[in-house]
Chains A and B, each alone.
Chain A
Amino acid sequence: MNLDWLDAFLISGLFSVVVIVGLGLLLHLQLGLTRIANFGVVGFFGIGMYSFGVLFTKVDWPFGDLWAFLISLAFGTLVAGLSGLLVGWLIADLDEDGVLVGTLGFATAVFILATTEQDLTGGALGLGGLKFPYDVGTVKADEFLWLVIVSIVVALIFLYVWWVHRTPYGRLLIAIGGNEPLAKSLGKPAFRTKLWLFAVGSAGMGLIGALFGVMERFLAPENLGIDVTLAAMVALVLGGTARAWGAVIGGFLIIGFFDIIVQSYLPLPKEWYGQAIPNIKEIVFGALLIVVLLFRPLGILGDMRRDKLMRRVHG
């Protein structure tokens, strides 16, 4: 495969966009529809990444790489889902402040575990030995193929999220997010619904984390900073929390701008890229979040339009 036309930076830039869009879409279900303010996105992302990486690299697998890879991937997803179940059980009945602190605390715990459990994770030095489950020639071709595969996964997540708005389940999520006591009085099991949504959403974030780890090939705690949560949150809020397209549009705008345009196409001094740009990025994320919430709290796309949507659905 001749990939000379493709810049290696563009692959990694697009990959960042796709990963953040994927996280943003799952966050849309939790925050946008059901109003669970999950500020621990990176915790589930990280626990999936490390569970996958540790199992894949530390076990002496008796069978081929592909099977070891897939089993480890399933394991990472499962562990993230189970931790989502646990965290969800703890926070599902709390108010917004409680949810914020609980999820943020969880993400911090994951970060600290990744740093201190050196026997398993390699601590701050990191964990090497991850690789793609295939070899199509060059590193660039491998990475490009991985970008395509992860894009397909995220596209499937998007299709599901987009379609959920058109199902009774989506209506239930919006109802619980909008007025939980009222939903309960109509016989809706709000706690159970939120718990499962949170657990499955967390599993999805874990899966994306594991897929991200494969692209990195090297896991280090610095991948688990608050900036991942912030990026997903900013992308979703900028695009529109209430809309399925919100995370996609916000993700391409904000991550696309930083990880593709700034990274590859702006004539900036080389020494900026190490320290300055990541810092500026976080500052802009934080500032943007404030500005959007102040002036256009529903994001670029605005509120969901159930009136129009339902008319179309029922034709």
Chain B
Amino acid sequence: MVDDTPVATIIRPQIHIQNAVKSFSGRVVVDVDELTLGDHAIEGLIGPNGAGKTTLMRMIMHSTPLDRGTITMSNANGGGDVVISDLPTHWMAPHGLVKSNQVIMDFDKLTILDSMLLAIAQAKYEQPHRLFVETQVYDAAVERVHEYMEYFELGDPYRFAGSAGEKKLLDIIRCLLLEPRFLLLDEPTAGLPDDVTEKVMAIIRDLAVAGTSVVIVEHDLNVIWNLSDDVHFMAEGSVVMHGSPAEIRENKTVIEKYLGEGHV
């Protein structure tokens, strides 16, 4: 697996979460004392429904504000530590922190190509006075766009994403086009056909080898066991356990709370 490859020289970005608390109408949903993500190339985050996995991910992206606590990212784009819990959501992507969405998120009025160009286009081209830069943006992006179009056999880029699965895939492709240094995937395979899931996972592996830290929330545990080097188990708002996939699948608490005997 990934650990066997000589990647010791790569410095991976990490996310440090300290005393992060979030409650909705008085009910504490996430209460994480101390958690570091990114020690390993690919980490899984699992737990029963309502454990707070998605909320924790959203807190990292600051699309859900924290009640208290801090989240920092080390070795972000440009090096150094960044207190990301002080930053607005739209600063995450420039720091290399990107998250795919659990629910389907799409731009209804934009074509597949539009969506991809949007992800790639730099802010300096998206100014009201930059009237003649579309060709520049397109020329700079076209090779990567076609690479993804062909790899995922998406056909005509000048059309709107149709099925739920296609929108979900497009969401992941947009994330990949942002060239993440730290990639959070919230149930990436839900709604994707098996062959597409395989293709997505292959890309994720390559990314991780090249130095991107990846955290996956996933209900399809085969994905977790196959892909991740380390697994965090979350229950009732906090991370109660972490270890190698083998350790986690053998743990009694995990089996009782989440897996059920049949799944081990």
Give the B-binding residues of A (Cβ under 8 A): 160, 163-164, 166-169, 171-172, 174-175, 177-179, 181-191, 193, 196-197, 200, 242, 303-304, 306-308, 310-311, 313-314
Chain A at the B interface: SS class? helix
As a 0/1 sequence over residues 137 to 159 of chain B, the CB contacts with chain A under 8 angstroms (1 = contact) are 11000000000000000000011
Is A187 in contact with B130, judged by CB distance below 8 angstroms? Answer: no
Note all chain A residues with C-beta closer than 8 A to B113.
310
Is A310 in contact with B158, judged by CB distance below 8 angstroms? Answer: yes
Note all chain B residues with C-beta closer than 8 A to A179.
105-108
Note all chain B residues with C-beta closer than 8 A to A242.
109
Is A186 in contact with B117, judged by CB distance below 8 angstroms? Answer: no
Q: What is the bound-complex CA distance between A168 and B136, given in angstroms?
A: 10
Name the segment of B85-93, B192-200, B207-215, B218-226 touching the other chain.
B85-93
Interface centre among A174, A183, A184, A191 (most CB of B within 10 A): A184
Q: Which residue in chain A gives the minimum CB-CB distance to B108?
A: A178
Within 8 A of A (CB), among B108-136: 108-111, 113-114, 117-119, 121, 123, 125-128, 130-135
Query: In angstroms, how far is the closest chain A Cβ from the Cβ of B29?
Result: 19
Given A163-B131, A168-B130, A197-B128, A185 and B89 touching (CB < 8 A)? yes
Given A172-B118, A188-B126, A314 and B138 touching (CB < 8 A)? yes
Note all chain A residues with C-beta closer than 8 A to B107.
174-175, 178-179, 182-183
Is A172 in contact with B109, judged by CB distance below 8 angstroms? Answer: no
Q: Which residue in chain B gives the minimum CB-CB distance to A172?
A: B126
Is A168 in contact with B134, judged by CB distance below 8 angstroms? Answer: yes
Is B90 in contact with A187, judged by CB distance below 8 angstroms? Answer: yes
List 5 contacting pairs A-B, 8 Å CB cutoff, sorted by A: A172-B126, A175-B118, A185-B98, A186-B119, A306-B114
Given A187-B93, A187-B94, A171 and B131 touching (CB < 8 A)? no
Is B89 in contact with A184, judged by CB distance below 8 angstroms? Answer: yes
Query: In angstroms, how far is the closest chain B Cβ from the Cβ of A142?
Result: 34
Interface centre among B63, B126, B133 (most CB of A within 10 A): B126
Is B92 in contact with A185, judged by CB distance below 8 angstroms? Answer: yes
Query: In angstroms, how far is the closest chain B Cβ from the Cβ of A134?
Result: 31
Is A182 in contact with B101, judged by CB distance below 8 angstroms? Answer: yes
Please provide the 4 A-B residue pairs with the shortest distance between their CB atoms, ordered closest to farther. Answer: A187-B93, A178-B107, A184-B89, A172-B126
Is A185 in contact with B61, judged by CB distance below 8 angstroms? Answer: yes
Is B90 in contact with A184, judged by CB distance below 8 angstroms? Answer: yes
Number of A-B contacts (CB under 8 A): 118
Interface size class of B (residues with CB under 8 A): 35 or more
Is B110 in contact with A174, judged by CB distance below 8 angstroms? Answer: yes
Given A187-B178, A188-B90, A314-B138, A306 and B109 touching (CB < 8 A)? yes
Select which of A168, A177, A182, A310 is within 8 A of B106 by beta carbon.
Answer: A182
Is A168 in contact with B126, judged by CB distance below 8 angstroms? Answer: yes
Q: Which residue in chain B gives the minimum CB-CB distance to A182?
A: B105
Is B114 in contact with A167, judged by CB distance below 8 angstroms? Answer: no
Is A185 in contact with B63, judged by CB distance below 8 angstroms? Answer: yes
Note all chain A residues with C-beta closer than 8 A to B160.
306-307
Note all chain A residues with C-beta closer than 8 A to B40.
none
Q: What is the bound-complex CA distance between A235 and B114, given in angstroms?
A: 28
Note all chain B residues with C-beta closer than 8 A to A169.
125-128, 130-131
As a 0/1 sequence over residues 60 to 91 of chain B, the CB contacts with chain A under 8 angstroms (1 = contact) are 01010000000000000000000000001111
Given contacts A177-B109, A178-B107, 11 further A-B contacts (CB under 8 A): A169-B127, A181-B105, A184-B88, A185-B61, A185-B90, A186-B118, A187-B90, A189-B123, A190-B90, A196-B128, A306-B110
Q: Which residue in chain A gives the minimum CB-CB distance to B138?
A: A314
Is A168 in contact with B109, judged by CB distance below 8 angstroms? Answer: no
Given A184-B89, A313-B134, A307 and B158 touching (CB < 8 A)? yes
Is A167 in contact with B92, judged by CB distance below 8 angstroms? Answer: no
Note all chain B residues with C-beta closer than 8 A to A168.
117-118, 121, 125-126, 130, 133-134, 137
Query: In angstroms, how far is the closest chain B Cβ from the Cβ of A175?
Result: 5
Given A187-B93, A187-B94, A189-B123, A171 and B105 touching (CB < 8 A)? no
Is B121 in contact with A171, judged by CB distance below 8 angstroms? Answer: yes
Note all chain A residues with C-beta closer than 8 A to B158.
307-308, 310-311
Is A167 in contact with B105, judged by CB distance below 8 angstroms? Answer: no
Note all chain A residues with C-beta closer than 8 A to B137.
168
Note all chain A residues with C-beta closer than 8 A to B178.
186-187
Q: What is the bound-complex CA distance between A306 and B158, given in angstroms?
A: 8
Q: What is the bound-complex CA distance between A30 and B88, given in angstroms?
A: 23
Within 8 A of A (CB), among B155-178: 158-160, 174, 178
Q: Which residue in chain B gives the minimum CB-CB distance to A193?
A: B126
Note all chain A residues with C-beta closer than 8 A to B174.
186
Q: Which residue in chain B gives the minimum CB-CB distance to A174?
A: B109
Note all chain A residues with C-beta closer than 8 A to B88.
184, 191
Is residue B99 contacting chain A, with contact meaning CB distance below 8 A?
A: yes
Note all chain A residues with C-beta closer than 8 A to B159.
307
Q: What is the bound-complex CA distance between A200 and B114, given in angstroms?
A: 25
Note all chain B residues with C-beta closer than 8 A to A307.
111, 158-160
Q: Which residue in chain A gives the minimum CB-CB distance to B136?
A: A168
Select which of B63, B105, B119, B134 is within 8 A of A166 by beta carbon.
Answer: B134
Given A169-B128, A182-B107, A310 and B114 touching (CB < 8 A)? yes
Is B117 in contact with A171, judged by CB distance below 8 angstroms? Answer: yes
